């Protein structure tokens, strides 16, 4: 009997961390080799060209657990009925930027995503907040 498909979203999917997570999830290493997933890639609108390239890579690899893959810039669309969210996206720290400046910059990003997740995500969803403010 096949398991129910998990809806999994990576925020900041066009970034280095998000991009490196894709094959781990798509290969079955994260949720199991028998767990079907719908992979959703979220990033900002200017990153859509990169995300579309990632979608093509995933499709080319024909990962057996990936039943569907979507890319988008709208958190409400990507978080709809979400089971698992990996929040690794954020504004990168620039040279000379203090930690407090970075936190202030990222506050709006995570606030918007949190509100969207609260509105459209499943109440049973698993949220992994990995913020890299180093």
User: Quick check: is 12 in a domain?
Assistant: yes
Where residue 80 sits, what CATH number does that domain have?
3.40.50.720
Q: pLDDT value at position 91?
A: 77
In the predicted model, is pLDDT for residue 132 greater than 80?
no
How is 76-107 classified by DSSP, letter by letter? HHHHTT-SEEEE---PPPPTT--HHHHHHHHH
User: Quick check: is 100 in a domain?
Assistant: yes
% of the chain surpassing 90 pLDDT: 61
| Residue 120 structural domain | 6-129
User: Quick check: is 119 in a domain?
Assistant: yes
**pLDDT: is 48 or 92 the higher one?**
48
Residues 6+ apart with CB under 8 A from 95: none
pLDDT band at 103 (very low <50, low <70, confident <90, very high): confident
Dihedral of the alpha carbons of 13, 15, 17, 22, in degrees to the nearest 10: 40
Report the number of distinct structural domains present in the chain: 1
In the predicted model, is pLDDT for residue 23 greater than 90?
yes
Query: What does pTM read for this prediction?
Result: 0.84
User: Quick check: is 25 in a domain?
Assistant: yes
HSE-up (13 A, CA, CB side) for residue 106: 23
Tokens of 82: 């979400």
User: Quick check: is 20 in a domain?
Assistant: yes
What's the average model confidence in pLDDT over 37-66?
A: 96
User: Quick check: is 1 in a domain?
Assistant: no
What pairs with residue 129 in β-bridges?
87
User: Quick check: is 134 in a domain?
Assistant: no
Region of 98 please: left (phi>0), alpha (psi -120 to 50) or beta.
beta
In the predicted model, is pLDDT for residue 107 greater than 60?
yes
pLDDT band at 35 (very low <50, low <70, confident <90, very high): very high
User: Quick check: is 39 in a domain?
Assistant: yes
Which residue do the tokens 């509100």 mark?
115
Q: To the nearest whole number, what is the mean pLDDT of the chain? A: 87
Q: pLDDT value at position 48?
A: 95
The region of weakest confidence among 7-11, 64-68, 73-77, 97-101 is 97-101
Q: Is the dihedral of CA 114, 115, 121, 122 positive or negative?
A: positive
Residues 6+ apart with CB under 8 A from 121: 79, 80, 81, 82, 85
């Amino acid at each position: 009997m096949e398991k129910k498909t998990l809806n999994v979203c990576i925020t900041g999917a066009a970034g280095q961390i998000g991009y490196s997570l894709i094959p781990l999830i798509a290969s079955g290493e994260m949720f199991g080799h028998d767990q079907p997933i719908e992979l959703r890639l979220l990033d900002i609108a200017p990153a859509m060209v990169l995300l579309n390239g990632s979608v093509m890579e995933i499709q080319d690899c024909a990962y057996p657990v990936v039943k569907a893959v979507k890319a988008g810039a709208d958190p409400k669309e990507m978080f709809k009925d979400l089971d698992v969210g990996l929040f690794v996206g954020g504004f990168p720290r620039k040279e000379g930027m203090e930690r407090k400046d970075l936190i202030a910059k990222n506050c709006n990003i995570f606030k918007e995503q949190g509100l969207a997740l609260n509105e459209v995500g499943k109440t049973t969803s698993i949220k992994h907040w990995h913020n890299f403010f180093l």
